Structure 1
């Protein structure tokens, strides 16, 4: 009994100190993050170059302003991955340096929130263009300028405040740790932090489901005329839904299970398993940086053609460029067809 108590206490101490109880598994997590970083950094850098040099997104009448901010958020998120991978290799769930730890929390929360926000805004904009094509909306008025993008970044900044008040990168929330630390202020901070985590994912997911259902319904109602734009809209919102569901919903469910484990005071070894599962599914959420380029392709035929022409010319042949079916633009351009 004494040995069991000592082992439980030891495991609990490891959880509190943010040390990985399964170092081999955390090294595997680190390897996944390194692979994501190696693949996603050049991919997103090339997309960023295309938006700035070729598409000149600030002059665009399409979703390119939103997509530029999406790729910018992905690149900023990628910067955190080598540091996170280094911590995991060292058997730590977070950096022992207070400044680095809080900086990482700030970057991860801000840029993941921005990525989710711009994915959602892109789908909402496509929803208005397809379901309510003749109705004026604030997105259509502001998407030609950086105003709405700046507003989104500014609104996300206050949401990172709860993450900076107290370290929680090791899942230390609600009745986890010394009972003497369970004060009203700590409970309020913990609740705010968890509210930010869940609302960043749940609310956008509900919006995406709504947009997807209505765009698909609109496509089914279309009996005459050109349905290319509608089909592309369906592909877009469906791809966003797939990316969102694959990357963000699993870690949300894991976080919910972990909170239940904390509040109901499950045995420490079960709490540790829940924390390890949550860490792993958070690593899965970083796959978003690799999957977002699919959204760019579904958003614009012109983007896809330009990307292949500039970076993979061996895969294309030169003909006349199609108008961008995502915008209905009919001006003449150069076409690139995939071989």
Structure 2
């Protein structure tokens, strides 16, 4: 029965076209709001802060914004497919290219959010200890390395069945091939580790920085409070955007393996697609992380784009931020 619910799931046809048009509207709204916001942030990093000359987190934050912009360019195609009642493009090449871009840039966004929190952890909890990250962040090599390491992780996710929720079918439907099982398992491992491992790291960094603030009785508690505010904001972004889709994927896999009811499988797949749309909201929230990271960036951004909000804001100068009398102070606080 070609028009059955199960056949539509297999063909990546949306069974609830009205809901998928709503998903498409959300993605279009995200693009309209996030694209100019991220473009303005990217402009400041390149032309005002000159991130490649900085010894701060600016290199990481620039790559975070770059990943978001590349992801935003994919969303109109995704929205078009949803409007047409399709979960993915029917063109195999376009489908695989979209999956490659979506998972590469979402992975990069997660990676640079995590690295930013790790760097803040070392600066606050182990301020005097030399570490590899502190050395490498002075040059763009570590950012290039992160992008290169993410490339092989996108290979298993480029298989078109992933987005149509067909991994690990029920025993009655599954193909009895070892290669198929290995590919399905590898694909799911990549999806979950890309979210779960960074989340564990973020929780650890947040707890350690908060404990450091509690034990701090003398010195500059303002910097520590800003560090806590930063890692907390990263945790909020991560928890709001990425954890729900990981939980939705887990539920979907359980239903596909254990429940032999096409209507329930379809509802789980539709819910998962909606949670994936929610994950694209990080393109709107990441610029806020940039403001929490850098007092200088916030001051420049307000004075450049919202001067009526920046009348009493003073932009920190490079000379003052790198003064020998304040060796521990920098523009990222």
CA contact (8 A) 1:251 1:282 kept: yes
**For each residue in 1:28-59, what CA deviation from the matched residue of structure 2 results, as whole angstroms up to 9, or x when unmatched?**
00000000000000000000000000000000
* Aligned equivalents of 1:319, 1:214: Cα separation in 2: 31
Query: What is the DSSP-based 3-state SS (H/G/I as helix, E as strand, rest coil) of the residue aligned with 2:100?
Result: helix
Equivalence for 1:235: 229
The equivalent residue for 1:109 is: 103
Distance 1:232 1:217, change over 3 A: same
Secondary structure in 2 matching 1:321:
coil
Is the Cα contact below 8 Å between 1:102 and 1:167 reproduced in 2?
A: no
Match of residue 216, structure 1, among 185, 200, 210: 210
* Paired position in structure 1 for 2:50: 56
For 1:40 and 1:68, the matched residues in 2 are separated by: 15
SS in 1 for 2:162: coil
| Residue 263 of structure 1: how far off its partner (Å) | 1.3
Partner of residue 186, structure 1: 180
- Quick one: structure 1 residues 115 and 47, their matched pair in 2 at CA, closer, same or farther if it must change by over 3 Å? same
Match of 1:84 in 2: 78
2:259 aligned with 1:265: yes
Contact 1:212/1:237 (<8 A) preserved:
yes
Aligned residues: 324
Aligned match for 2:21, one of 4, 20, 27: 27
CA contact (8 A) 2:20 2:85 kept: yes
TM-score (norm 1): 0.91
Displacement of 1:180 in angstroms is: 6.8
CA distance, structure 2, for counterparts of residue 79 and residue 320 of structure 1: 35
Q: CA deviation at 1:164?
A: 2.7
Shift of 1:317: 1.1
CA positional deviation for 1:322: 4.2
Q: Distance in 1 between matches of 2:323 and 2:224?
A: 16
Q: Does 1:311 align with 2:302?
A: no
Number of the residue aligned with 2:163: 169
Cα deviation 1:208-251 (Å, max 9, x = unaligned): 00000000000010111111111110000000000000000000
Q: Is the 8 A contact 2:92 2:160 kept in 1?
A: no
- What is the alpha-carbon distance in structure 2 between the residues aligned to residue 197 and residue 319 of structure 1? 42
Matched residue, 1:252:
246
- Cα distance change on mapping 1:100 and 1:225 into 2, 3 Å: same
Q: Residues of 1 paired with 2:174 and 2:290: CA distance?
A: 50
Structure 1 unpaired stretches of 5+: 1-5, 332-339
SS at match of 1:38: helix
The DSSP-based 3-state class of the residue aligned with 2:88 is coil
In 2, Cα distance between equivalents of 1:268 and 1:149: 44
Contact persistence 1:243–1:291 (CA under 8 A): yes
Structure 2: unaligned runs, 5 residues or longer? 325-333
- 8 A contact 1:51–1:57 mirrored in 2: yes
* Cα distance in 1 for residues equivalent to 2:275 and 2:159: 24
d(CA) in 2 for partners of 1:173, 1:321: 52
Contact 1:117–1:152 (CA<8 Å) still a contact in 2?
A: yes
The more displaced of 98-107 and 181-190 is 181-190
4+ residue runs over 6 A deviation:
none
Q: Is the 8 A contact 1:212 1:234 kept in 2?
A: yes
The answer (yes or no) to whether the contact 2:299–2:314 under 8 Å persists in 1 is: no
Query: Whole-Å Cα distance in 2 between the matches of residues 120 and 284 of structure 1?
Result: 19
**Alpha-carbon distance between aligned partners in 2 of 1:276 and 1:165, rounded to the nearest angstrom:** 19
Preserved CA contact (<8 Å) 2:55 2:138: yes
Paired residue secondary structure (1:266)? coil
TM-score (norm 2): 0.93
Q: Distance in 2 between matches of 1:35 and 1:206?
A: 31
For 1:334, the equivalent position in structure 2 comes to: none
